Amino acid sequence: MTDAADLTATELIDAYEAGTLSPVEAAEAVLARIGRDDPKLNAFCLVDGETTLDMARAATDRRRRGAMLGPLDGVPVSIKDILLTRGWPTLRGSATADPSGPWDEDSPAVARLREQGAVFVGKTTTPEFAWKGVTDNPVDGVTRNPWDPSRTPGGSSGGAAAAVAAGMAPLALGTDGGGSVRIPAAFTGTFTIKPTYGRIPHYPASAFGTLAHTGPMTNTVADAALLLDAVCGADGRDWSALPPPDVVFSEAGPDDLTGLRVAFSPDLGFAEVDPEIAASVAAAAEAFTELGAKVEQADPGFADPVEEFEVLWFAGAAKVVENLSPDARARLDPGLREICEQGARYSAVEYLTATARRMDLGRLMGLFHERYDLLLTPTMPIAAFEAGAEVPPGSATRRWTSWTPFTYPFNMTQQPAASLPCGFTSGGLPIGLQVVGARHADALVMAACAAYERARPWKRFTRAG
C-alpha cells in the first residue's frame, strides 16, 4: 500500500471523497514520517501532534457530515516559522524572541487555511529572521536536504521545502524576499511560486518591505494551485494587498502553450552557471517549444542589481533588530549581525538611490513583457552545497547573494516567479527551472508550469523503509 504521507494534496482529497482514507489517517501518516525522518533533516522547529490530531478529527467529522469548510479541509500543511500562528510561538529562528507570547493571532495566509479546515502539522525552520538563502539558526541548528543530508535544502524556506520533499506534509507556506521559496524548491526538487507582490496578503508587515512575499510550496503545480486559491483572499491588515484574483488557479490553464511568446535567458547576461545545470535548463526551454510556444533566446538587458538589492535587504535587516539590546544583538547569527551593522550605515539617499534603481528595473521588465509573455532562466546556477555554510566552497564573497543571481531581481520587480524541477545533476541533485511572468500574470505562470509538468513529469524524492 502507498504510505499516505507520500500522497499529494490532490490525491488526499480524492481519497477522502472516495472514503478510502480519512484526515486522521493522513495526519497520523505525516506525524509518523516526521518522527522517522525529521531527526536527520531538522525541517521542523515545532511539532504539536496533539493539536494536529485534534484538527484532523474535526475535519474527519465534518467530512462524515458533509459539512466541509473548503477544498483543503483535512489536508496537512506546515507553516514557516515567520508567519504568525495562533496558539503556537513564532520565534523566527531567533534566541532574541520571547516564547511566552502572547500568540493569539494568525497571519493572513494562516487564517485563510484555518478557515478552510486545513490540518496544521507544525512550524518549519528558517534562518534567523529569514535573512539568508540557506537554513540554519542559533536556536534550531542546521536543516538538511532529503536528497543528500550533507547538503543544504537552501533557504530561507528550507524547512518548508525539506518537509514537502520528504513527505512530512504535502502543503507548506513559505516566504520569499530574495528567493526564499525558489532557492529551496530548486535544491529539493519541489514546486513553488512567488506570486505578484500583494497577491497573498502579508501581516505583520515585513521589515524588508515590499521585497517580501508569501508563497505556496508543494510537490506539484496542482497542489500549489489549490493552496493559492485558499490564501489569496483579502485581509484588511495588509494595506498593499491586491484584490482577490479573478481566476480559480486550480481550474485555469491551457493544455498547450501554442502562440505563447517565451524568452529564454541562460544567464541573464551576467551570471555564471554550472554546465550541467545550463544543459538541463536549455532542454527544459526546448520543451516549451514542443508545447507550441515561440521560444527565443533573449536577455532582459539589465546588469546585476546585487548592490542595490543588498542596500534594501541589509537596511531591512537593520530595521528588524533596531530595538534589541546589546546583549540580545550578541546572540544573533554572526552573519546577520554583520549585515545589520552594514545596513545601519546606509544613508537615506543611498536607500532612495537603490529604490530608484529598483523602479528602473521594474520599468525595464514591464517593457520586456510587452514583447515576451514569459521569461525562462535557471532558478539556481549551482546545485545544493554543504549544509551549514552560507556560501559554497571557493565563493568570491561571504554573502548568500553571490550565488542567487536569478532570484532577487524579481523580488525587486515584484513579478510572479515559479521554480519547477527540470532534471538532476550527475550526482543526483535536483535542478530548477525558473518561470517569470509580468506583474499580475500569476495565472499564466501557473498554467505554463502545469503544461510543462504534464509534458515532463518529474521524479519525486522517495526513501525506502
Query: Mind listing the pLDDT tens digit for each residue in 368-421?
Result: 999 999 999 999 999 999 999 999 998 989 999 999 999 999 999 999 999 999
Q: Is the pLDDT of residue 321 over 60?
A: yes
- 379 is written with which cell numbers? 532558478
Q: Where are the domains of the chain?
A: 4-455
Pick the catalytic residue from 22, 78, 107, 156. Answer: 156
Task: Give pLDDT, residue 165.
Answer: 98
Question: How many CB atoms neighbour CB 3 within 10 A?
Answer: 12
Vertex 115: Cα angle to 111 and 119 (nearest 5): 90
> Does the structure show a pLDDT above 90 at 171?
yes
80 is catalytic: yes
Active-site residue, from 22, 78, 94, 180: 180
- Residue whose cell numbers read 525587486: 412
If pLDDT is split at 50, 70 and 90, which confidence band does 115 have?
Answer: very high
Q: Please say if the pLDDT value at position 32 is more than 80.
A: yes
Match 533557504 to its residue by C-alpha cell. 155
* DSSP-assigned beta bridge partners for residue 215: 174
At 52 the pLDDT is: 98
Q: Catalytic one among 22, 80, 94, 419?
A: 80
pLDDT in tens, 217-248: 999 999 999 999 999 978 999 999 999 999 99
- Rounded CA-CA distance 181/193 in Å is 7
Q: What is the mean pLDDT of residues 163-189?
A: 98
Look up residue 29 and give its amino acid. A
Residue 464 pLDDT: 44
Q: Say yes or no to pLDDT of 144 above 70.
A: yes
The CATH T-level fold of domain 4-455 is Amidase signature (AS) enzymes (3.90.1300)
pLDDT of residue 465: 37
Cell 513579478, located at residue: 415
pLDDT tens sequence across 276-309: 999 999 999 999 999 999 999 999 999 999 999 9
Compute the mean pLDDT over every residue in the chain, rounded to the nearest whole number.
96
Residues 282-309 as b/e (b if ≥16 CB within 10 A, e otherwise) read eebbebbeebebebeebbbebeebbebb
pLDDT bin (cut points 50, 70, 90) of residue 1 is: low
Ramachandran angles phi, psi of 10, nearest 5°:
-60, -45
Distance CA 352, CA 342 (A): 16
What is the pLDDT at residue 233? 78
Of the chain, the percentage scoring pLDDT greater than 90 comes to: 96
- pLDDT value, residue 326: 95
Q: What is the arithmetic mean of pLDDT over 40-64?
A: 98
Q: Would you call 294 a catalytic residue per the annotation?
A: no
Instruction: Tell me if residue 280 is catalytic.
Output: no
